[in-house]
């Protein structure tokens, strides 16, 4: 006997395909919902896969207009959540489900949106269910399960990662970049290492001269603006601050690695990291970061393949507390006959 209908946010990828099969194993009837947010997707193939796994129904909703007009680059999740709640209600689903990891931000974005739009909705989050995450400890287990169920997936054990695409994403073909590293101590750049020549510069003046040269020939640090002057007139200004632009960008990004969020405003103290950078046609791209002093970042804490630091179950309580005010806001809106919109 079915436990009821669940509307699953389905992408056709590894995680949600396994979750679809797992929900069926748990006794749920599943409506697979896929949002078109501008990604290059074979929707017919995704439908075939979902139905082959066992979904009762497959629904695609085009939310590109809402995405561009209401949200754009800030968040696609509320747009998807709104469409998913609508599909769930239209198909008599008592619950919604998603494939977000129990350690990430998307689970919060989805679920707070769900609760705002439908305060009494039931959310099934497999990656926070011990029965699920203890069975599937990571991508390897997901791939093994998919193979046992004959579920076709693009990922392999060598390349298990997935992609997230929408209208806001842009790709381009790169030219040959210039790469280098900057070493900081106590917030100050003390060494510039040129990767191509293996040259190391430690003199502060020479370091800034070389940083200026690197950035200038790559078009970094140029702005063209219309500004307001103190005397009340507007003026067009064209400015170039090449070396300082890349040094500032590297330092600001390092703060995310070395500083707790509550003390990040302190900024320029206690930073002793090595910085890898890349320059390409007017842009500065961070290649990597490391530090001899910070201990705040631990890659295992955010890894899907390891359970360290905290249990995914803990996140359920966090979301429940965060949702209290949002549910009340959603309930008040419904009582007034004006359900929330984006």
> What is the reported pLDDT for 172?
42
Tokens of 105: 């931000």
C-alpha 112, offset from chain centre: 16
Just list the catalytic residues: 15, 77, 106, 162
Please report, to the nearest 10 degrees, the dihedral formed by the alpha carbons of residues 290, 291, 295, 297 taken in order: -20
Q: What pLDDT, in 10s, does the model give residues 57-97?
A: 999 999 988 887 666 544 688 999 999 999 999 999 999 99
Report the CATH superfamily, name and number, of domain 5-168+310-335. Answer: HUPs (3.40.50.620)
Enter the pTM of the model. Answer: 0.68
The mean pLDDT value of the chain amounts to 83
The two tokens of residue 182 are: 């900057």
Report the C-alpha gap between 183 and 202 in whole angstroms.
9
Determine which helix (DSSP H) or strand (DSSP E) holds 283, and give its type and residue range: strand 283-291
Choice between 213 and 8, residue whose per-residue pLDDT is larger: 8
Write out pLDDT tens, residues 212-247. Answer: 898 888 888 887 777 776 556 676 677 788 888 989
| Options 3.40.50.970, 3.40.50.300, 3.90.1260.10, 3.40.50.360; CATH of 178-299 | 3.90.1260.10
Cα separation, 131 vs 97, whole angstroms:
15
pLDDT of residue 155: 63
Query: CB burial class (10 A; 0-12, 13-18, 19+) of residue 242?
Result: buried
Bridge-based pairing of strands 95-97 and 5-9 is parallel
Q: What single string gives the DSSP state of each residue in 174-220?
A: ----EEEEEEEETTEEEEEEETTTTEEE-SHHHHHHHHHHHHHHTTT
What pLDDT digit, counting tens, does each position of 262-315 carry? Answer: 776 665 555 556 656 666 666 776 777 778 877 777 777 666 666 666 678 888
3-state helix, strand and coil shares in percent for the chain, rounded to the nearest 5: 40, 20, 40
Distances (CA, A) of 221 to 41, 47, 215: 37, 47, 7
Beta bridge partner(s), residue 126: none
H/E element holding 18?
helix 14-25
Give residue 171's pLDDT band: very low, low, confident or very high (50, 70, 90). Answer: very low
Start-to-end CA distance of the chain, whole Å, equals 37
User: Any idea where the domains of the chain sit in the sequence?
Assistant: 5-168+310-335, 178-299
């Amino acid at each position: 006997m079915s436990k009821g209908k669940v509307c699953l946010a389905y992408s056709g990828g590894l995680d949600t395909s396994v979750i679809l099969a797992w929900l069926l194993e748990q006794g749920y009837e599943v409506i697979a919902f896929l949002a078109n947010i501008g990604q290059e997707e074979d929707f017919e193939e995704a439908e075939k896969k979902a139905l082959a796994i066992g979904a009762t129904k497959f629904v695609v909703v085009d939310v590109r207009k809402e995405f561009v007009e209401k949200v754009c680059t800030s968040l696609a999740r509320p747009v998807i959540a709104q469409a998913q709640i609508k599909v769930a209600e239209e198909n008599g689903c008592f619950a919604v489900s998603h494939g977000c990891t129990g350690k990430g931000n998307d689970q919060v974005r989805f679920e707070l949106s769900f609760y705002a739009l439908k305060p009494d909705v039931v959310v099934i989050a497999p990656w926070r269910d011990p029965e699920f995450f203890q069975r599937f400890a990571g991508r390897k287990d997901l791939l093994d399960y998919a193979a046992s169920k004959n579920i076709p997936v693009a990922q392999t054990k060598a390349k298990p990662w997935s992609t997230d695409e929408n209208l806001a994403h842009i790709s381009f073909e790169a030219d040959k970049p210039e790469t280098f590293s900057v070493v900081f101590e106590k917030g100050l750049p003390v060494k510039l290492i040129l990767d191509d020549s293996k040259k190391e510069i430690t003199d502060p003046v020479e370091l800034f001269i070389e940083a200026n040269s690197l950035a200038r020939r790559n078009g970094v640090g140029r702005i063209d603006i219309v500004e307001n002057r103190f005397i009340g007139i507007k003026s067009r200004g064209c400015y170039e601050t090449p070396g300082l632009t890349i040094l500032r960008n590297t330092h600001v990004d390092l703060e995310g690695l070395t500083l707790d969020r509550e003390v990040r405003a302190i900024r320029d103290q206690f930073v002793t990291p090595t910085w890898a950078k890349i320059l390409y046609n007017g842009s500065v791209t961070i290649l990597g970061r490391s530090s001899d002093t910070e201990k705040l970042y631990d890659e295992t804490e955010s890894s899907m393949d390891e359970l360290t630091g905290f249990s995914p179950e803990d996140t359920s309580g966090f979301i429940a507390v965060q949702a209290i005010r949002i549910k009340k806001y959603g309930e008040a809106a419904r009582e007034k006959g004006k359900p929330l919109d984006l």
